Amino acid sequence: MAENRIPREVDNRQLAERPKAWTPPELLPEPDKQPGFAYRWIRVSMLNVADPRNLSMRMREGWEPVTLTEQPKFKLLADPNSQYKDNIEIGGLLLCKAPEEFVKQRMEYEANMTQSQAEAVDNSFMRQNDARMPLFSEKKSTVSFGKKD
């Protein structure tokens, strides 16, 4: 019997692992998700100038600020000079949450508005149609990569 085996204590996966590569830090960390809520960073100031209009509009849309008690991992990252003391503000952005239903409803509303605007443009374009020289309104495009010989 051969006795040239490597003992199990020496042979482990840590020696075979690749060294981890350095990556730059994220500008805005990802919050711990709660089921049923969507998260978003909302601008409250830009270049040290407050933007209450933007925050007010987002609050009316249904977004509400996330408190530090909900996301305790942000305690060290939050701005100590912020006017939103109990909330999470990083670099002029306030972490907010809204029910996922509101976010889906808003996306559907925006999609319907986009669709109706596209139809209005098409109708306006096709109104100029003449039988002697018809207009074409194609709704498809193709993508090609390189040249085949």
List, for residues 47-59, the tens digit of each pLDDT value: 888 889 999 999 9
Query: Does some domain include residue 62?
Result: yes
Query: Does some domain include residue 87?
Result: yes
CA distance 63 to 55: 9
Q: So what's the pLDDT on residue 11?
A: 59
Mean pLDDT on 68-85: 82
Structurally, the chain folds into a number of domains equal to 1
Per-residue pLDDT at 1 exceeds 60? no
Helix, strand, or coil (residue 26): coil
Q: So what's the pLDDT on residue 15?
A: 58
- Domain of residue 58, residue span: 38-99
Question: Is the full-model pTM beyond 0.75?
Answer: no
Of 111, 113, 106, 137, whose CA–CA distance to 124 is shortest? 137
Instruction: State the DSSP code for 87.
Output: B
Query: Does some domain include residue 57?
Result: yes
Could you give the dihedral angle defined by the CA atoms of residues 28, 30, 32 and 37, in that order, rounded to the nearest 10 degrees? 90
Of 89, 92, 96, 91, whose CA–CA distance to 44 is shortest? 92
Q: So what's the pLDDT on residue 63?
A: 94
Query: Does some domain include residue 83?
Result: yes
